[in-house]
Structure 1
Amino acid sequence: MDDRQELSLLVSRLGAWLDAKSPDQGRALFTEDAEAHTLGGVAKGVDALFEQARRNHTVPTQHFITDPLVEISGDSATIGANLLVVFAHEAGPRLLGERYELDAARTPDGWRISRVQARPIWEVTHA
């Protein structure tokens, strides 16, 4: 598998991890010093990132991450992708459209996400 394929797969695994709500699986996705900047706040360090994800994903979710645009420069990469996330609240779903801007680093264990920036574009509540 080449670097672009591995990085695209990493983005897909990010969505699956968020939906599965399984922090242990996240260790294979992120660097230890990873940061997340999302509507749910800012988290620095992988443990803080896991806590932020747990706190902000209390209902069933489904993340659709599409159209990854991968740029590689040596042992670092940037990835832009579209995100549609559905939060399945009892009162009705919340739909959120965002643009992901991800940074990744090549580690001895493969590519890992070092930074997540989520830029909101639109939102529909109780659709």
Structure 2
Amino acid sequence: MTTRTDHAEISMLVDRFFKALDNRELTADRWRGPFMDDVRMETPLGTSQGADAVRATEEALERYERTQHIAGGVLVDADADAGAVGASVSWNALMTHVHRAATLQERGGDADPLFAAGGRFEAVVRRTADGWRFSRIVVRPIWTKGRPPVGVDVQ
């Protein structure tokens, strides 16, 4: 069972994860903070695991000039299979992406500078000696507005 303290720590993990995305702090050499070594990430761009998951995230974010990820409604449920060491987490997300100048140039003068999405994140977290860490993250878009970067096919 998770306590109020666990819920607060897991909510902070979600906030730190989104902050790291927007500040471009999830790089191949600095990724272990919020993740288990074998983290699995499932996004509209594909599925990857471990360091490859972080590299894929880093590459996806490099397609944009800036991003803003906002999380809300974080729900934490104890994972009965994992006892006191794991929990399922879900939250709503608004994700705004500012296109690079090259994308706008390629699309012409009336191109929308933003690609936005709303959806749900579903995750599994595990308690470690260093605190809670993500072992799995699934991104489930519900809606999008605008177009993704040139050459990107969102599933």
CA contact (8 A) 1:31 1:114 kept: yes
SS of the residue corresponding to residue 27 of structure 1 reads: coil
Q: How far apart are 1:25 and its partner, in Å?
A: 4.5
User: Which residue pairs with 1:61 in the alignment?
Assistant: 67
**What per-residue deviation string (whole Å, max 9, x for no partner) do you get for residues 26-64 of structure 1?**
31100000000001211111x111111111112111101
User: Which residue pairs with 1:75 in the alignment?
Assistant: 85
User: Are 1:39 and 2:40 matched, yes or no?
Assistant: no
Structure 1 segments unaligned to the other structure (5+ residues):
none
Distance between the aligned counterparts of 2:31 and 2:20, measured in 1?
7
User: Are 1:4 and 2:10 matched, yes or no?
Assistant: no
User: Which residue pairs with 2:16 in the alignment?
Assistant: 13
TM-score after normalising by structure 1? 0.92
Q: Which range moved further: 102-111 or 22-31? A: 22-31
TM-score after normalising by structure 2? 0.76
Letter in 1 for 2:123: L
User: Which residue pairs with 2:34 in the alignment?
Assistant: 29
User: Are 1:93 and 2:114 matched, yes or no?
Assistant: yes
SS of the residue corresponding to residue 21 of structure 1 reads: coil
Letter in 2 for 1:75: V
Q: Which range moved further: 48-57 or 21-30? A: 21-30
> Quick check: which one's strand share is greater?
1
Letter in 1 for 2:139: A
Between the aligned residues of both structures, percent identity stands at 31
Q: How many corresponding residue pairs?
A: 125
User: Which residue pairs with 2:136 in the alignment?
Assistant: 115
Q: How far apart are 1:108 and its partner, in Å?
A: 1.1
SS of the residue corresponding to residue 20 of structure 2 reads: helix
Letter in 1 for 2:73: D
Letter in 2 for 1:77: A
Q: Which has the larger radius of gyration?
A: 2
